[in-house]
Amino acid sequence: MLLLNRVAIITGGAKGIGKGIALKFAEEGCDIVIADVSLKESYETLNDIRKRGRDGIVIECDITDINKIYSMVNQVISKFKKIDILVNNAGILGTTVSSSLKSVATLPEEEWDKVVSINLKGAFLCSKEVVPYMKQKRYGKIINMSSIGAIHPPAVSPHYTAAKAGVLGLTYDMACELGPYNIWVNAIMPGTVRTTIFDPILQKKTEQEIDSFFEERGKMVPLQRVGVPEDIAGVALFLASELSSYVTGLAIPVAGGRPLQPTIF
């Protein structure tokens, strides 16, 4: 097992990519902390973790609130005595159906603040509280979830694009700072992954329309499909394990070949 007896905090671990990572880590011997605001889905994922023979806890946590993060980290240390892995995964496209895709001229300031706070500030705050414990143990793996949009933006989502690009900058800076403490910091840049993050723009569509939405996006990918959470989880496992012992400060696109796009000759 690649993560035997490790302890991982996964923000946004209740569903989607976070759940995929949680289950993959559990299969490799890791105990899991699900830090999320979606409690029903969190406990369902925790049940799946326990079916895989590992321990875990659910902690309701708003990652934009430093006091909630402080309390969450203290609970983890109290139960597990250490934190080996932090996956800064929690994120949103937008807060409403109409706001997930907006031009810079029409994007409300409060919408910008909310998306940047969750997608970028949350990663900073969680790292801020976890890093001292990793330094004390002189060991840690931090995985930040960026997006292929950070380097190949959709041009109609400036708040999301800016936040995910900021995650890359945070990753590079932390990797330089924390390397001497035996703490690895890397980022993953997913492409389109079929998860509930798209619910704000798909909630009024039929199942057939939703399938068509992802099929059309898959045609823009060299591998001819959109991703699934397991695609991201495999790369996260590599970064969390000793297989990546000489890899830090790296941002890995996991996007089926994007930003390359198929061309018809």
pLDDT in tens, 80-98: 999 999 999 999 988 655 5
Which CATH number is correct for 7-254, 3.40.50.300, 3.40.50.720, 3.40.50.2300, 1.10.1040.10?
A: 3.40.50.720
pLDDT in tens, 60-72: 999 999 999 999 9
The per-residue pLDDT for 97 is: 52
Pick from 167, 177, 74, 60: which is nearest to 122 by CA?
Answer: 167
DSSP state of 260: S
Joined tokens for residue 192 = 């389109």
Position 198: which residue type? Answer: F
Residue matched to tokens 């929690």: 90
The per-residue pLDDT for 263 is: 72
CB 34 within 8 A of CB 56: yes
Backbone phi and psi for residue 140, each to the nearest 5 degrees, phi listed first: 180, 150
Pick from 203, 199, 191: which is nearest to 254 by CA?
Answer: 191
CB 34 within 8 A of CB 46: yes
Q: What 3-state DSSP class applies to 114? A: helix
Provide the CB-side half-sphere exposure for 261 (13 A, CA): 10
For the chain, the domains span 7-254
Average pLDDT over residues 204-229: 93
The per-residue pLDDT for 265 is: 60
d(CA 26, CA 49): 6
What is the number of other CB atoms lying within 10 angstroms of the CB of residue 108?
13
Residue matched to tokens 């009024």: 204
pLDDT in tens, 93-125: 886 555 556 789 999 999 999 999 999 999 999
pLDDT band at 201 (very low <50, low <70, confident <90, very high): confident
What pTM did the predictor assign? 0.94
The per-residue pLDDT for 231 is: 98
Provide the CB-side half-sphere exposure for 9 (13 A, CA): 35
d(CA 211, CA 215): 6
d(CA 92, CA 111): 11
Catalytic (active-site) positions: 160
